């Protein structure tokens, strides 16, 4: 590397970064999508600045993005209802398949508790 003739090193110019952009960069690094070095090159930001943001803003990000306990509980309850619906549907399909073909797939491939539930559904369908 050659230095300029006047002997001074030029300081690298960096762009100003918005607060939301800082949070998104920190999020990418925290999720393991990119490294600090890669983020530095990608966004033309010094590594020391990114490390400073991580130190100062990672707690802010967690507080601002986190849901309240009640919201988390509501979301989890909705997810449970969705999964129970899917489970019921799958059990109905398996029970119908067993009634039509006469094969007992649930006993061979599923846990005992699920096989019992499917057997009950199969009996209710045959009535």
Evaluate whether 103 touches 73 at the Cβ level (below 8 Å). no
How far is 24 from 75, CA to CA, in rounded Å? 24
How far is 67 from 51, CA to CA, in rounded Å? 26
C-alpha angle 19/66/34, rounded to 5°? Answer: 55
Confidence of residue 69 (pLDDT cuts 50, 70, 90): confident
pLDDT in tens, 15-66: 688 888 888 888 888 888 888 999 888 888 888 888 888 888 766 655 555 5
pLDDT in tens, 70-124: 888 899 999 999 999 998 888 888 888 888 887 777 667 777 877 788 788 777 7
> For residue 84, what pLDDT is reported?
93
- Burial status of residue 45 (CB atoms within 10 A of its CB: 0-12, 13-18, 19 or more): buried
C-alpha angle 12/14/20, rounded to 5°? Answer: 160
Express the helix, strand and coil content of the chain in percent, nearest 5 each. 70, 0, 30
pLDDT at 4 over 70: no
- Burial status of residue 24 (CB atoms within 10 A of its CB: 0-12, 13-18, 19 or more): middle
pTM tops 0.85, yes or no: no
């Amino acid at each position: 590397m050659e230095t300029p003739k006047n002997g001074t090193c030029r300081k690298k110019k960096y762009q100003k970064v918005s607060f939301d952009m800082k949070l998104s960069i920190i999020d990418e690094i925290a999720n393991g999508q990119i490294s600090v070095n890669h983020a530095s090159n990608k966004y033309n930001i010094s590594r020391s600045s990114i490390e400073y943001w991580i130190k100062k803003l990672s707690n802010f990000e967690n507080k601002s993005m986190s849901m309240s306990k009640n919201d988390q509980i509501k979301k989890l309850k909705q997810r449970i209802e969705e999964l129970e619906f899917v489970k019921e549907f799958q059990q109905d399909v398996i029970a119908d398949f067993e009634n039509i073909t006469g094969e007992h797939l649930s006993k061979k491939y599923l846990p005992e508790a699920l096989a019992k539930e499917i057997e009950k559904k199969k009996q209710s369908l045959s009535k």
